[in-house]
């Protein structure tokens, strides 16, 4: 009899589904409703700096996803051992290590990308999204949830910078991923239809304008108002 009750006690706590509703929200919330760039207005610096072209932006997005997810996982695993008085420094050390790893790997396997992104990869350290997620989520939640949360936030960051980069490269350089779209257009419709590129889009001002438009569209749809 006693053996039975013990078994029941274990069964009583069913594990949460791998992608339960709550966990799905961890990923989907930062995409629109709680987007790190457009709602929380974090990580603007890199959103302006690297988004002149799609290719470096994609590499930057992947790097940020890697850093945020890994940092969230590490901090979450250590959350019960980290002394609270030095937790910010511990977070910083973990993030800095991850960022250095990314930068070293790029330098070995994608040197051209490394040259182009150089200081911006290093500046992921100062990207508030990373430290923000560590402090707000990973320190108080289990590893798997922290991974999902980090992935969601980084994805929310990524799609915004990729969208900004798409328009900046298209209007500023007339291409997408280095493919000269404008040249094809004038090739199909003849030279009368040649499109001019806009130099404003290449400068950081262009990123501000696109970002502003995205925020405008998004807030019109979601009805979000700043408190």
Angstrom distance (rounded) from CA 29 to CA 40: 12
Name the minimum Å distance from CB 100 to other proteins: 6
Per DSSP, the three-state class of 184 is helix
Name the minimum Å distance from CB 69 to other proteins: 17
Under the criterion CB under 8 A, does residue 214 sit at the interface with other proteins? no
Enumerate long-range contacts of 175-182, CB under 8 Å, 24 or more apart: 176/54, 177/54, 177/55, 178/53, 178/54, 178/55
- Total binding residues toward other proteins, as defined by CB under 8 A: 26
Angstrom distance (rounded) from CA 60 to CA 50: 8
Type and span of the H or E element at 81: none
Name the minimum Å distance from CB 160 to other proteins: 20
Under the criterion CB under 8 A, does residue 112 sit at the interface with other proteins? yes
Q: How far lies 165's CA from each of 29, 113, 153, 222, in Å?
A: 22, 16, 18, 23
Out of 202, 209, 218, 219, which residue is the one contacting other proteins (CB under 8 A)?
A: 202
C-beta of 150 vs 206, nearer to other proteins: 206
C-beta of 6 vs 93, nearer to other proteins: 93
C-beta of 19 vs 86, nearer to other proteins: 86
C-beta of 39 vs 167, nearer to other proteins: 167
Residues 92 to 111 in contact with other proteins, rule: CB under 8 A: 93-94, 97, 100-101, 104-105, 107-109, 111
Name the minimum Å distance from CB 35 to other proteins: 26
Name the minimum Å distance from CB 203 to other proteins: 5
Residues 45 to 84 in contact with other proteins, rule: CB under 8 A: 52, 81-84
Angstrom distance (rounded) from CA 16 to CA 1: 28
Cα dihedral sign for 44, 50, 53, 54?
negative
Name the minimum Å distance from CB 119 to other proteins: 8
Residues 113 to 142 in contact with other proteins, rule: CB under 8 A: 114-115
With 0-12 CB in 10 A as exposed, 13-18 as middle and 19+ as buried, what is 111? exposed
Q: With left for phi above 0 and alpha for psi between -120 and 50, is residue 84 left, alpha or beta?
A: alpha
Binding residues vs other proteins (CB under 8 A)? 52, 81-86, 89-90, 93-94, 97, 100-101, 104-105, 107-109, 111-112, 114-115, 199, 202-203
């Amino acid at each position: 009899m006693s053996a039975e009750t013990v078994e029941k006690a274990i069964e009583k706590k069913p594990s949460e589904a791998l992608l339960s509703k709550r966990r799905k929200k961890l990923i989907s919330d930062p995409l629109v409703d709680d987007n790190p760039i457009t709602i929380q207005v974090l990580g603007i610096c890199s959103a302006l700096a690297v988004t002149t072209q799609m290719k470096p932006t994609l590499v930057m997005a992947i790097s940020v996803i890697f850093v945020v997810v890994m940092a969230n996982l590490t901090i979450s695993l250590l959350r019960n051992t980290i002394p609270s008085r030095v937790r910010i420094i511990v977070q910083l050390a973990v993030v800095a290590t991850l960022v250095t790893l990314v930068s070293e790997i790029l330098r070995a396997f994608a040197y051209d990308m490394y040259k182009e992104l150089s200081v911006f990869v290093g500046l992921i350290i100062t990207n508030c999204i990373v430290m923000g997620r560590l402090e707000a989520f990973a320190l108080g939640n289990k590893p798997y949830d922290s991974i999902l949360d980090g992935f969601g936030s980084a994805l929310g960051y990524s799609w915004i910078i990729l969208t900004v980069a798409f328009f900046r490269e298209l209007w500023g350089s007339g291409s997408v991923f280095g493919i000269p779209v404008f040249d094809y257009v004038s090739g199909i419709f003849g030279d009368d239809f040649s499109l001019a590129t806009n130099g404003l889009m290449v400068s950081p001002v262009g990123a501000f304008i696109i970002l502003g438009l995205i925020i405008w569209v998004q807030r019109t749809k979601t009805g979000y108002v700043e408190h």
